[in-house]
Amino acid sequence: MISRFPKNIVQTLGLIAFGFIPSVFLVAIQAMDLVHIPEQIFNSTLFVALSLSIIFFYVWKNKRIFTFKDLFAYNNPKRIKLLFFFLLIMIIFQLGVETPISRFISFHVKKSSNISNPFNNLPAMIGAVTLAPFFEEIIFRGIILRGFLSNYKPAVAIIISTTIFALAHGAPNLIFGTFFLGLLFSYLFYLTKSIIPTMFFHSISNVIGLSIGFLLFKNYNQCRVEKTYGDYTIAILCISLITVVFFGWLLLKKNRATGIK
């Protein structure tokens, strides 16, 4: 595989640091109240500016070998059959594992974390389903993971890039879920060599997350929740975890020919 930037953690940190340059100007403009921008729109603008800066710097550093076909081409139709496994694992994980764990963490870490209606924040909702999957998959899979795969063994590249992806989301209650989903998206990218499937699954994942948030809001009337499924929480969590591990094992078994180590 052709060596490409960023191929290690140091280069990745430099890439991300470059992305923050225009963000600093936007934050300064907002802080000085030179232009009044609603917070929801400002956050989306900040995210897009950061993402575009990272993509621009990446294209410039790889100008001799970069083509958009590298990012969006999908030349492995046989892998489509495997998408069912990815979808099944993702749904079971989000419903039965991520949701009870994230709510438990929120209950004990974020003491004032009440459940709100995610559909009340239209810009954030649209951004979660469209902008986030598009830009995050380009950056974390199409740029960072692709670069790491040219320098590290696949398993190492996937774990490191996924760790960066999880930490980038910041909130303690999100890190566990984003790390597992990041592993799933990264392995999907590794199998297909394209970010098109990962964008699709990332978008579906965020739709599931929004829907779960809405159902919790309706059922618990904005109250803080420690046990998502009441007395059945532990049982559902254990069964879901076992199921995810089983289907994950089947997925790896079906693709052992890829030689991921």
More confident residue, 163 or 108: 163
User: What does the DSSP 8-state code read for residue 151?
Assistant: T
Domain carrying residue 85: 68-258
The per-residue pLDDT for 198 is 94
The per-residue pLDDT for 110 is 64
Task: Say how many domains are in the chain.
Answer: 1
Asked whether residue 45 is assigned to any structural domain, the reply reads no
The per-residue pLDDT for 245 is 94
Q: Name 176's Cβ contacts closer than 8 Å, sequence gap at least 6.
A: 98, 101, 102, 105, 166
Average pLDDT, the chain: 84
Task: Quickly count: other Cβ atoms within 10 Å of residue 78's Cβ.
Answer: 8
Please report which confidence band the pLDDT of residue 259 belongs to, taking 50, 70 and 90 as the band edges: low
Asked whether residue 152 is assigned to any structural domain, the reply reads yes
Listed ranges 120-134, 140-154, 164-178; the one with the highest mean pLDDT: 140-154
Distance set, CA 149 to CA 125, 140, 170, 236, 260 (Å): 32, 12, 25, 36, 11
Asked whether residue 31 is assigned to any structural domain, the reply reads no
More confident residue, 173 or 244: 244
Terminal CA-CA length for the chain: 16
The per-residue pLDDT for 145 is 95
Read off the pLDDT of residues 31-46 as tens digits, 9 standing for 90 and up: 776 667 777 777 888 8
Q: Which two tokens stand for residue 68?
A: 């958009």
Q: Is the pLDDT of residue 255 over 90?
A: no
Cα 256 from Cα 234, distance rounded (Å): 32
Read off the pLDDT of residues 86-101 as tens digits, 9 standing for 90 and up: 999 999 999 999 988 8
Q: Is the pLDDT of residue 261 over 60?
A: no
Please report which confidence band the pLDDT of residue 114 belongs to, taking 50, 70 and 90 as the band edges: low
Read off the pLDDT of residues 182-241 as tens digits, 9 standing for 90 and up: 999 999 999 888 899 999 999 999 999 999 888 887 776 555 566 778 888 889 999 999
The per-residue pLDDT for 147 is 92
- Asked if 108 contacts 24 with a C-beta cutoff of 8 angstroms, the reply is no
Cα 28 from Cα 162, distance rounded (Å): 31
Asked whether residue 117 is assigned to any structural domain, the reply reads yes
More confident residue, 9 or 82: 9
The per-residue pLDDT for 74 is 64
Asked whether residue 13 is assigned to any structural domain, the reply reads no
29-43, 55-69, 127-141, range with the lowest pLDDT? 29-43
The per-residue pLDDT for 106 is 78
Cα 166 from Cα 245, distance rounded (Å): 20
Please report which confidence band the pLDDT of residue 75 belongs to, taking 50, 70 and 90 as the band edges: low
Asked whether residue 138 is assigned to any structural domain, the reply reads yes
**pTM exceeds 0.85:** yes
Q: Is the pLDDT of residue 108 over 80?
A: no
